Amino acid sequence: MAPTSSSDVPANDAPDLFRNESDALEKARAIHANGDADAEQSRLALGELIGHFERLMRETRRLIGRSDRAEREMHALTQQLQYRATHDALTDVLNRSAVIERTSKALRADRAVMILLDIDEFKKVNDDFGHPVGDMVILGIVDCLRRIVGEQGVIGRVGGEEFTVLLPGHDLAAALLLAEKMRAAIGSHVFAAPVNRRITASFGVSANPVRTEFDTAYGLADSALYKAKRGGRNRVEFAESEEALGVMPEGE
């Protein structure tokens, strides 16, 4: 008969990792069942069983510790991935998909103002100084926005040099004041060398009642931004939906 190789051994014939413990347990059971077993036999069997039990306890604690560490690392990795999925890699503000989700959620619950801003003539910055300097300018712009917006709203980056500021629960008048402060902060900001020029931004603002769709809020702000660009740049323009203005559609 041909010898059996290790590869021919069925998977269920794998070595018993608890063979020594099982043997010690069976020995203790046998002595316990034997009414004639003397005290020394019982003591030795119990000592052997205790030794194996203590080893199992140590290994169990070690494995639980490893499992807890792995769970914490997995949780931290999951949080990191979730953050990166919703934030812009350069600026750490919300990315476009997160802006859409956050705005839609805010408008389901309350009115909200959408501010859309675009860095004026940003292409010249990249052409004259290169993209790394352009990135530095973008970071400077975001710093200006953070200083003014604070906890009042949420900043997002929806394009290369285009940003949004969502202001949940705000009215148009307060939002326009805030937009003017942002515009002034950017216009007065001194950027590091080699940038040797004033950087400005144009703003479009839309005031939106509850249940406004994102596309509507964004489209109105974009129209106002286009108006600001045509009007000479470095200015704030606004648009309101017909419902916010109290204008009823014809026929109603």
Q: Give the 3-state secondary structure of residue 118.
A: strand
How far apart, in whole angstroms, are the C-alpha atoms of residue 239 and residue 234?
17
Q: How far apart are CA 241 and CA 244, in angstroms?
A: 5
Catalytic one of 21, 59, 161, 250: 161
Instruction: Name the token pair of 157.
Output: 């980056």
Handedness of CA 168, 171, 172, 174 (dihedral sign): negative
Task: Check if 250 is active-site.
Answer: no
Q: Which residues pair with 202 in a beta bridge?
A: 118
What are the beta bridge partners of residue 166? 114, 154
Helices (H), the chain: 19-33, 39-86, 96-109, 122-129, 131-149, 172-188, 214-230, 242-245
| Catalytically annotated residues | 161
